Amino acid sequence: MNVFPVVLCGGSGTRLWPMSRGGYPKQYLKLTGSDTLVQQTVRRLDGVENVAAPIVITNNEQRFLVADQLRTIDVSPSAIVLEPIGRNTAPAVAAAALLAMEHDPDALLLILPSDHVILAEDVFAQIAATARDIAAKGNLVTFGVEPAKPHTGYGYIRSGKPLEGRDGAWHVEAFTEKPDAPTAERFVAEGGYYWNSGMFMMKASVYLEELARFEPQVLEQVRLSVSGAKRDDDFIRLEPQAFEVSPNISIDYAVMEKTARAVMVAARGLKWSDIGSWSALAEISEKDADGNTLHGDVLIDGVSGSYIRAEHRMVAAIGVKDLVIVETADALLVAHRDQSERVKKIVERLSALGRHESVTHRKVIRPWGSYEGIDQGERFQVKRIVVSPGASLSLQMHHHRAEHWVVVRGTARVSNGDQVLLLTENQSTYIPVGVTHRLENPGKIPLELIEVQSGAYLGEDDIVRFDDHYGRVPTSV
């Protein structure tokens, strides 16, 4: 009986702005080590017995981020499933269950959010082994984390009757959504309540049975979407019309709160956090003698209890305490640690103003590499473009802008109208308005060039795409 990890990797993230953004959420960031959170999630599976390659659930916008980050750590997923629209966790897990059963009718699902931190990975493997044995008998197992303190940001699980023959496992008596502060304090004082971690272990077939009982429309629509999915070597694209009709509902509301098969395993000693704020990240980070956590080029004097992160330039702080300071190439956050959850209000204001800082960084990842804004003014902007070896941009044309390309490293093959040019370091070319062109990297090292755009309109939506190796629709960038 194989364990199929289901890594939930869609959605957007803003609670750790300015690092986490709508188009680049926290699971793709290196917040607690040399790996990103999604890479940590996948590597954590090395200690789990009989584990298959993971099934990753994400969306169309993030598909290349996921694929690249898994490729970087030499992990080949069994599938990267693309949701056409977010419909919460119940439909996502249903799709994974149907796909896992194509390989193994008795498949067990280990459902894992991709953006959590677990510091005791050996303990995780032990808990997963316990959960596997319990789930193999037809139970739907949830991982409950012992509360370290009253917390209003987590849902709670009330443990009921002990599971016979299993220490640290109970039948679930009740689920409670995020409580107010007095209720959270009462839960912790009474005992028997656990934080709902969002991690589960269950047989795929049992989950589908319970889903059919309680939310049959979810199962019906997901079945149609999986059966009509487009599959290639890289992705499984769920059929959009059927999936979009599915109810938008979590696995907790759809199944776990209604089933009589719910069992909770106590995830003792897991050192778990969903890092829902900068303050939460500061709590689990290593600190100096004054209670500070410093990342990057940071200089301090007379600072205590602060989390300071410099991503792009030197940050100096003097005589402050209990602050969160996070610097990126295009934004700076300064907040009191007790107020860091209010960052979402800043993101809402940025979105209302149409500011790109709520969605993208100055450096934007693309399937072929990346581009980064360097300078801009009236009728011009300058970008640094990096193209991965063997990669190419789409064959395209612009109605409103011309482009100058100067190669600073590597070799570029440029299709410029009827010409095909091979450019090397310090060579350049000019792409007039309305001319069809393509940029390729035929070499073995990254191609780096400076692009100078000029024209009346310089938006990224001024692209007419004729051909693309990455299956992007003509109007996307």
pLDDT per position as a tens digit, 8-23: 998 777 899 999 998 8
Given pLDDT bands bounded at 50, 70 and 90, which one contains residue 475?
Answer: very low
Given pLDDT bands bounded at 50, 70 and 90, which one contains residue 474?
Answer: low
Question: Distance between CA atoms of 333 and 324, rounded to whole angstroms?
Answer: 7
Say if residues 5 and 45 touch (Cβ distance below 8 Å).
yes
Residue where the block lists tokens 């995020």: 178
The residues near 227 (Cβ < 8 Å, ≥ 6 apart) are 239
Q: What is residue 35's predicted lDDT score, i.e. its pLDDT?
A: 96
User: What integer best gives the mean pLDDT of the chain?
Assistant: 94
Say if residues 333 and 279 touch (Cβ distance below 8 Å).
no
Percentage of the chain surpassing pLDDT 70? 99
Question: Distance between CA atoms of 161 and 174, rounded to whole angstroms?
Answer: 11
Q: Decide which of 177 and 346 is more confident.
A: 346
Question: Distance between CA atoms of 230 and 239, rounded to whole angstroms?
Answer: 7
* Residue ranges of domains in the chain: 3-273, 284-345, 363-467
Question: Distance between CA atoms of 450 and 406, rounded to whole angstroms?
Answer: 5
Least confident of 64-68, 140-144, 162-166, 223-227: 162-166
For 241, half-sphere exposure in the C-beta direction (CA atoms, 13 angstrom radius) is 1
Give the pair of three-digit tokens for residue 472: 């992007």
CATH homologous superfamily for the domain 3-273: Spore Coat Polysaccharide Biosynthesis Protein SpsA; Chain A (3.90.550.10)
The residues near 114 (Cβ < 8 Å, ≥ 6 apart) are 7, 8, 9, 27, 37, 38, 41, 56
Q: Model-level pTM greater than 0.75?
A: yes
For 396, half-sphere exposure in the C-beta direction (CA atoms, 13 angstrom radius) is 25
**Residue 128: is it exposed, middle or buried by C-beta count within 10 angstroms (0-12/13-18/19+)?**
buried
At the top level of CATH, the class of 363-467 is: mainly beta
pLDDT tens-digit readout, 98-143? 999 999 999 999 999 999 999 888 899 999 999 999 999 999 999 9
Angle between helices 216-227 and 89-103 (to 10 degrees): 50
